[in-house]
């Protein structure tokens, strides 16, 4: 599996986990999922994942940075849910904590693949410059 496919997979799953966890937190704090202030935040997770996935496909210069930042955001969102879920010792709380840990791990994997994405871009750019220098 190529790194861009890994980026797309991990980022998409991390976005879904972060979206679900954020929806759970809205419900925990008494907000309806139909409220007008809920959907822009939930849509942000989808938009960020689409942007990162599109950048991973076109392999632009700054795509690694975008992947790192977005997956860091997803990991932090999962960490925030892990820290604020109540009641912690109920089945519900343990499920949310487990899902949060999965989200944190996915975000961390996304950061790793973002670093690798940037490294691969830099290596390809150096190889291209070396070939150009050899032709002269």
Mean pLDDT computed over 118-128: 90
In the chain, % of residues over pLDDT 70: 100
Q: Compute the distance between CA of residue 40 and CA of residue 125 in angstroms, rounded to an integer.
A: 38
Choose among 23, 105, 43: nearest CA to 71: 105
35-46 pLDDT, tens digit per residue, is: 888 889 889 999
**Could you tell me which of 22, 13, 26, 5 has the C-alpha nearest to residue 107?**
13
Q: Stretch 22-26: mean pLDDT, rounded?
A: 92
Confidence of residue 1 (pLDDT cuts 50, 70, 90): confident
**SS3 of 5, please?**
helix
Find the DSSP H helices in the chain. 3-28, 39-58, 63-84, 91-135
Long-range contacts, stretch 42-48, CB < 8 angstroms, 24+ apart? 45/15, 45/18, 45/19, 45/74, 45/77, 46/15, 46/19, 48/15, 48/73, 48/74
Place 135 in a pLDDT band, splitting at 50, 70 and 90: confident
pTM of the model: 0.88
Quickly state the pLDDT bin for 81 (edges 50, 70, 90).
Answer: very high
Question: Residue 115's pLDDT is what?
Answer: 95
């Amino acid at each position: 599996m190529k790194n861009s496919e890994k980026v797309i997979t991990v980022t998409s799953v991390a976005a879904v986990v972060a979206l679900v966890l954020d929806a759970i937190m809205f419900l925990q704090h008494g907000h309806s999922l139909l409220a007008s202030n809920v959907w822009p935040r939930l849509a942000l997770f989808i938009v960020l994942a689409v942007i990162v996935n599109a950048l991973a496909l076109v392999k632009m210069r700054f795509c690694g940075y975008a992947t790192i930042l977005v997956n860091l955001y997803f990991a932090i969102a999962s960490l925030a849910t892990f820290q604020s879920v109540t009641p912690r010792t109920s089945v519900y709380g343990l499920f949310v904590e487990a899902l949060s840990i999965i989200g944190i791990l996915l975000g961390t994997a996304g950061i790793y693949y973002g670093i690798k994405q940037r490294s691969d871009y830099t290596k390809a750019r150096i190889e291209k410059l070396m070939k150009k220098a050899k032709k002269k």
